[in-house]
Amino acid sequence: MTPKHLLSIDDLGREGIEEILGLTDSFVEVSARRIPKVPALRGKNIAWLFYEDSTRTRLSFETAAKRLSADTMNFSVGSSSVNKGESLRDTCLTISAMGVDAIVVRHRSAGVPWQIANWIDASVINAGDGWHEHPTQALLDTYTLRSHLGDLDGRHIAIVGDIKHSRVARSNLAAFTALGAEVTMVAPQTLLPPSLEGWNANVSHDLDAVLPTVDAIYLLRMQLERQTDALVPTLREYTDGYGLTTQRLAALGEKALIMHPGPMNRGVEICPEAADDPRSVITEQVANGVAVRMSVLFLLLGSGAEHEAGGLS
């Protein structure tokens, strides 16, 4: 079944995730070609609607779309009608009226992709909504994990850091557990969500205890303003308790993976040695991001017929 939108990981479920990851293998292959471009989405029009700054996610989507030969248009929020007071809904209706097949949206407010999906006919892809979801990040992370660990059933993954404010953490928890992994969230209490009811995860304040048991450690970006919000007394203290320091690097399993969604604060949540360690797959995550986003765009916008008839050729 072809979904119309990609809003959340929960919408996909295990089958949906596996379908996208399966498809991603083909696009990793496409990306490795001398001319990494296929005509799969020729004539399709995709709009980028990024209300929040994003470099890597937008570039990654843009690269994915180009490799699929889609046309793209960028709605630049900073220099647009939004500054003239246009509402989100009117902006979406305007873009929609130009004829787009998909809108890829990032917004600081949770739920915006759902609202847009109610307003317009095009497919909506959630590229991050507030603290809520970032499904393509979770898919690329899951793909990266699987490419090293194989089946995730029974694997143990620690997500460390500012979980409360992290859409990456929410989507990753959903994706990892959907594929059978066990997740432990490690953070000071102030950086955990106020309630963990219904969360399929262990919680720990003791990274040193968790570290030796994990197959992967996923470090979240520690935003510098959390210190001024009194969520942690000092960044030094945060690093001491929850950073992947050189000492902790030594305690990490030999085959355990080090992951980070970027951009990193070297020396805060991750020491430079860990970022550049052979166990680190951080740049691989970025590379896989393009292939995963090709899969998502192809799945939502390419017709099943094209797929079966070898739309990748």
Partner 1 sequence: MTNAVLRQSVLIRGGTVVDASGSRVADVLVGSDGMIEAVGEGLKGDLELDAGGCIVSPGFVDLHTHLREPGKEEAETIESGSRGGALGGFTALVAMPNTTPPMDCVGVVRDVIELGKTALTDIFPSAAITVGRAGEQLSPMAELAKLGVRIFTDDGTGVQDDLLMKRALEYSVGLAPFTGGASVVLAQHCEVAALSDGGFMHEGEWSSRLGIPGQPAEAEELMVMRDIALAKSTGARVHFQHMSTAGSVSLIRAAKAAGLPVTAEATTHHFTLTDAACASFDTVFKVHPPLRTDADVAAVKVGLADGTIDAIATDHAPHCAHDKEQPFDSAPPGMLGLETALALALTELDQPVEKVVGLLSWQAAKIAGIDDVHGCPIEPGRPANITVFDPAEAWTIDSSSFASKSTNCPYEGHNVKGRVRHTIVNGEPVVIDQEATR
- We find the least distance from the C-beta atom of residue 227 to partner 1, in angstroms, to be 17
The two three-digit tokens of residue 50, written as one number: 């990024």
User: Which of 108/205 has CB closer to partner 1?
Assistant: 108
CB of 111 to partner 1, least distance (A): 3
Residue 37 interacting with partner 1 (CB under 8 A): no
Q: How many residues bind partner 1 (CB under 8 A)?
A: 25
Cβ proximity of 91 and 49 under 8 Å: yes
Decide the pairing of beta strands 156-160 and 182-186. parallel
Residue in 5, 106, 156, 167 binding partner 1, rule: CB under 8 A = 167
Q: Does 96 bind partner 1 (CB under 8 A)?
A: no
Among 3, 36, 130, 267, binds partner 1 (CB under 8 A): 130
Q: By CB under 8 A, which span of 13-21, 73-81, 196-204, 220-228 interacts with partner 1? A: 196-204
Question: Half-sphere exposure of residue 90, counting CA atoms within 13 Å on the CB side?
Answer: 8
Q: Would you say 87 or 190 has its CB closer to partner 1?
A: 87
Residue 211 contacts residue 185 (beta carbons within 8 Å): no
197 binds partner 1 (CB under 8 A): yes
The residues, ordered by sequence, that sit 6+ positions from 237 with a Cβ below 8 Å of its Cβ are: none
Query: Which of 305, 298, 303, 259 shows the shortest CA–CA distance to 6?
Result: 298
SS3 122: coil
Residues of this chain, 169-188, that bind partner 1 according to CB under 8 A = 170
Residue 115's SS3 state is helix
Stretch that binds partner 1, among 23-31, 52-60, 109-117, 254-262 (CB under 8 A): 109-117
Number of H helices and E strands in the chain, helices first, is 12, 9
Question: Does 131 sit near partner 1 (CB under 8 A)?
Answer: yes
Q: Distance between terminal CA atoms of the chain?
A: 22
Contact between 99 and partner 1 by CB under 8 A: the answer reads no
- Tell me, what DSSP letter sits at residue 165? T
200 part of the interface to partner 1, by CB under 8 A: no
CA distance 8 to 233: 33
> Which burial class, exposed, middle or buried, applies to 233 when counting CB atoms under 10 A from its CB (0-12, 13-18, 19+)?
exposed
Nearest to partner 1 of 3, 130 (CB atom): 130
Q: Contact between 129 and partner 1 (CB under 8 A)?
A: yes
234 lines the binding site for partner 1 (CB under 8 A): no
For strand 102-107 and strand 45-50, is the pairing parallel, antiparallel, or unpaired?
parallel
Q: Which residue's entry shows tokens 């860990």?
A: 274
| Residue 223 touching partner 1 (CB under 8 A) | no
Taking CB under 8 A as the binding criterion, the range among 25-33, 55-63, 195-203, 294-302 that sits at the site for partner 1 is 195-203
Q: Which of residues 52-91 bind partner 1 (CB under 8 A)?
A: 87-89
Residues that bind partner 1 (CB under 8 A): 87-89, 107-112, 114-115, 129-133, 167, 170, 193-199
